[in-house]
Amino acid sequence: MCSHSGLADTTELARDAFTRELVERGLLVDTGVPGVFGKNGDFEAIVRGLDVMVEAAGAELRAEVFRFPPVISRALLERSQYLGAFPQLIGSVHSFTGDDGAHAGVLRAVEQGGDWGALFTSTDVVLAPAACYPVYGMATGTLPANGRTIDVASYCFRHEPSADPARMQSFRMHEVVRLGSSDACVTFRDGWLERGAALLRALDLDVRCVPANDPFFGRRGRLLAATQREQSLKFELVVPITSAERPTAVASANWHQDHFGELFAIHQADGSRAHTACVGFGLERITLALLRTHGLEIARWPAAVRDALHL
């Protein structure tokens, strides 16, 4: 991904120093696994403030509120075609279903430092790769006349171990999803790019809007990535966290056209296939951008920023 080695080195240094500082201050707790961090009460208060801001913006659009757990049904993931685009990011959940003898085998593997997970079998669930997937699953059928707007948030998982504190494997995403006509979805996406940028600027963050660049997998993925760019379907709001030259996406807004409408048999009131769009805010990433921009002493942040976040 990084072609300019000078830049990459600077970024890596900045990234390591930032992570170290966050851990020393207790804002993040190192768990020994890259991208899996505990957070202290100060960090969580910022996340909560962001959650409230996004929920309030969604409420202005009279969004219905739903919350889903960090696991989703395996059948839902299969239906979503996520396995085709991002197999490398998925977390599949496996459990032990054996008897006392098999259990002894598991404990032997643990003792010998072996791969005891290999003795487990696939369950009916996988980790949620994004907060919005359960919404498509629950929307199968016919939408009301003006479609639906749904506020949803959950812990998401993406298997991409990294030293970048802004690339966590387990993180929270707060989304608002629109289901309805293509016009409604485009208006929604474009409106949220402005609304999202305004929300982040109210927090004194240095925001820019750029076309998205998702890490589609393999040969087939290069085609999907090119299509995404050409069709200008998805945009990201980026803010500098560990690099000014390569700012980090902290929010994105995506018009899926009728992709999910087709996969999940979602129809508009007139019988035509529904379009969908979503905006997603990465809560840990925005929190890190705030800590990077305003410093690790939250009491010394600009009063307007603290007020906006109820800190």
Q: Which residue has the tokens 């966290």?
A: 241
Shortest Å distance, C-beta 130 to a copy of itself: 14
Among 25, 94, 259, 273, binds a copy of itself (CB under 8 A): 94
Q: Tell me: does residue 76 bind a copy of itself (CB under 8 A).
A: yes
- Site map (CB under 8 A) of a copy of itself, residues 40-59, x = contact: xx-xx---------------
Chain centroid offset of residue 297 CA? 26
Q: Specify the stretch interacting with a copy of itself by CB under 8 A; choose among 213-221, 224-232, 247-255, 301-309.
A: 213-221
The tokens describing 243, both together, are: 């690099």
Q: Find out whether 196 and 188 touch, Cβ atoms under 8 Å.
A: no
**Judged by CB, which is closer to a copy of itself: 58, or 180?**
58
Chain positions 269 to 298 lying near a copy of itself, rule: CB under 8 A, are none
Shortest Å distance, C-beta 70 to a copy of itself: 4
Among 13, 56, 87, 210, binds a copy of itself (CB under 8 A): 87
Q: How many other C-beta atoms are found inside a 10 Å radius of the C-beta of residue 300?
A: 9
Shortest Å distance, C-beta 22 to a copy of itself: 14
Q: Specify the stretch interacting with a copy of itself by CB under 8 A; choose among 156-164, 198-206, 229-237, 260-268.
A: 156-164
**Judged by CB, which is closer to a copy of itself: 60, or 245?**
60
- Site map (CB under 8 A) of a copy of itself, residues 158-177, x = contact: -x-x------xxxx------
Please count the residues of this chain forming the interface with a copy of itself, following the rule CB under 8 A: 72
AA letter at 78: E
**Judged by CB, which is closer to a copy of itself: 43, or 281?**
43
The residue among 190, 159, 155 whose CA lies nearest residue 51 is 155
Among 8, 10, 12, 74, binds a copy of itself (CB under 8 A): 74
DSSP conformation class of 299: G
**Judged by CB, which is closer to a copy of itself: 106, or 209?**
106
For the residues of 100-156, what is the DSSP string, one character each?
HHHHHHHHHHHHTT--GGGGSEEEEEEE-SSTTHHHHHHH-EE--TT-EEEEEEEEE
Q: Tell me: does residue 263 bind a copy of itself (CB under 8 A).
A: no
The tokens describing 99, both together, are: 């008897």
For the residues of 140-164, what is the DSSP string, one character each?
-EE--TT-EEEEEEEEEE-----S-
Q: Provide the angle, in degrees to the nearest 10, between the axes of the packed helices 41-60 and 182-201.
A: 140
Shortest Å distance, C-beta 281 to a copy of itself: 17
Chain positions 113 to 152 lying near a copy of itself, rule: CB under 8 A, are 115-118, 120-127, 134, 137-138
Chain positions 2 to 41 lying near a copy of itself, rule: CB under 8 A, are 29, 31-33, 36-41
The rounded distance, in Å, linking the Cα atoms of 151 and 192 is 13
The residue among 44, 85, 110, 82 whose CA lies nearest residue 310 is 44
